[in-house]
Amino acid sequence: MITVKLPDNSTKSFDHEVDGFQFAESISKSLAKQALVMRVDGDLVDLSEKIPDGAKVEIITPKSEESLEVIRHDVAHLLAEAAKELFGDDLQVTIGPAIDNGFYYDFACKKPLTMEDLEKLEKRMHEIVDRDEKIQREVWNRDEAVQFFKSIGENYKAEIISDLAADQTISLYRQGNFIDLCRGPHAPSTKRIGKAFKLLKLAGAYWRGDSNNEMLQRVYGTAWANEKQLKDYLFQLEEAEKRDHRRLGREMELFHIQEEAVGSIFWHPKGWSLYLAVQNYIREKLEKNGYKEVNTPALVDYKLWEASGHADKFAEGMFTIKVDEDKTLAVKPMNCPCHVQIFNQGTKSYRDLPIRMAEFGSCYRNEPSGSLHGLMRVRSFTQDDAHIFCTEDQIESETKAFCDLLMEVYKDFGFTNVKVKFSDRPDVRAGTDDVWDRAEAALKKATAAAGVKYDQNPGEGAFYGPKLEFVLTDAIGRDWQCGTLQADFILPERLGANYIGEDNKKHRPVMLHRAILGSFERFIGVLIESYAGKFPLWLAPTQVVVTNITNDQDAYAQQVLEKLKDAGVRAEIDLRSEKINFKIREHSVGKVPYIFVVGGREEENQAVAIRKLGSKDQQVLKLADAVSMLKEESKLH
């Protein structure tokens, strides 16, 4: 007798062994037709596997959240099969995993693939789906598999398998005449994969990620559970391209990047105005919430980073400078050890806690060149960083206060959909399990008290403590992880921080590391893309441009400009001898929220003609009323 437990903890019994197909059919024929794989005691496996007695089993269909990774891996195999059918011996397959939102496959090609080839590949992939080829798992021994792949000219696969242990089970999947090395699981046939996929682009990739190896061709694609999801994602990609912060940064004259300062930003006047608007907003919020701003050195003795443990974790990403025969300085990659040095000056009492120490700290990290991406990934950046030194009893109240502040800030910037992840201990970490138990329990309790719901993010904590990760969703549905809160019981110990308690004895403070925006550079990149450059008035680098119809109104245009500036409005003037429609079009491309046009009639009536970005209508107001309107609209309500 075989007993199987269902997700709702009910059971089904069988008088014989059953596999996933039979189990699904015992529930309903409809479920059996949709089934892709199954989850057995927490692990995803093929439907062809026998189910152990007493196992808990869930059938995974395209409606299941877990199905996407399976579908994407299936489609990667579809791509490889199509490539072999179309290009034969002119192409070798290497690896093809599922990734966020899709998949890729790397090929060794005698002749470079083109975008036209992607169209042919995609067409053939659809044909393979229509064939409804069975996808079957086979188990081989290592040497057999190596010889097989060598015999068919697939030397890259043979190399991968050769590196495996001699006694390791080799799992291969066959579909039609194509066979590939893979752990699985996979859908039972190509038709069940569906056709909700699209090949997107070509790129280069070194074999095994090593620049000393040969360059391969990587084909990227996306795959989804149904056509609607695919259509929505392709629309998102199209929108993302229109909103690319690098293009908008050029068009709006915000910033530029050049080879002489790779990974760093040249902020132009308008871009720096935006940067300062964000920074001044955050500074005001911090002051109101009891933070004291500090500033710490950019160059710090490498020994401090060794003492804190950062050198063990981030050595490859740190810029160092040898200044004496026995002294090496590191350009700071983060601010935390420096804040502990400020805390350690003088004696602290329990009455002084919590101490909320904030810094707009400029940090520098040696990110790989290939990972750099506009404002989103840079080597020099500034964080809205802060550290709260508190007692264990204060973790709860400080966590609640921080979460409230963070949500308030995100709302002001237009982000109301915020998800939270709880990241617990990583494999490589400092501190004992007992310390981690305390830190994780304290942060979970504080998060619950703050009324914040979260998803588990196993193993992704910092090396010194668990953390909350705050993920905001932008205007086109993309997720961006920005804010963090980390509970650290370890750095204060390593760096000798203490305070005098009520018992007149020394105690270690808890250190809460926290950021709301993360890096200013990345957050501004997110803002640019979410708003597509059309910022709310309070954020817009230039809130209004005053322009004339003819040079006869130059003096009045200057008068309008002065009135706006006196009211604190970020205003510019355009007195060029260009046609008014040309000037309006140019400033609209620059995403200026308002254009004040002045002609002879406006001057005579001490008025302005107002054009609002995105509107074809024109409104005429008295100058004083127009200035009051802008002042009111630029406030955060």
Q: Which two tokens stand for residue 245?
A: 């912060």
Q: Which residues contact 123 (CB under 8 A, 6 or more apart)?
A: none
Catalytic residue among 246, 270, 365, 522: 365
What DSSP element (H or E) covers 169? none
* Local structure of 338: helix, strand or coil: helix
Q: Which residues contact 168 (CB under 8 A, 6 or more apart)?
A: 142
Beta pairing partners, 507? 499
Which backbone phi and psi does 379 adopt, to 5 degrees? -100, -25
Cβ proximity of 268 and 253 under 8 Å: yes
DSSP E strand boundaries for 391-543? 418-423, 455-457, 467-473, 479-488, 499-500, 506-507, 510-519
Q: Which residues contact 222 (CB under 8 A, 6 or more apart)?
A: 101, 102, 103, 197, 198, 200, 230, 233, 234
Residue 507 a catalytic site member:
no
Residue 336 a catalytic site member:
yes
What angle in degrees, to the nearest 10, is found between the helix axes of 395-412 and 269-288?
140
Residue 363 a catalytic site member:
no
Residue 217 a catalytic site member:
no
d(CA 95, CA 72): 13
Burial of 596 (0-12, 13-18, 19+ CB in 10 A): buried
d(CA 557, CA 567): 16
Q: Residue 280: how many CB atoms within 10 A of its CB?
A: 10
Residue 218 a catalytic site member:
no
Residue 126 a catalytic site member:
no
Burial of 140 (0-12, 13-18, 19+ CB in 10 A): middle
**Residue reference for tokens 């927490």:** 42
* Cβ burial 222-252 (10 Å sphere, 16+ → b, else e): bbbbeeeebeebeeeeebeeebebbebbeeb
Dihedral (CA of 88, 91, 95, 99) sign: negative
- Terminal-residue alpha carbon distance, the chain: 67
Catalytic residue among 336, 338, 403, 482: 336
Residue 74 a catalytic site member:
no
Catalytic residue among 92, 175, 383, 543: 383
Q: Residue 619: how many CB atoms within 10 A of its CB?
A: 12
One-letter amino acid identity for 330?
A
Active site residues: 336, 365, 383, 385, 387, 467, 513
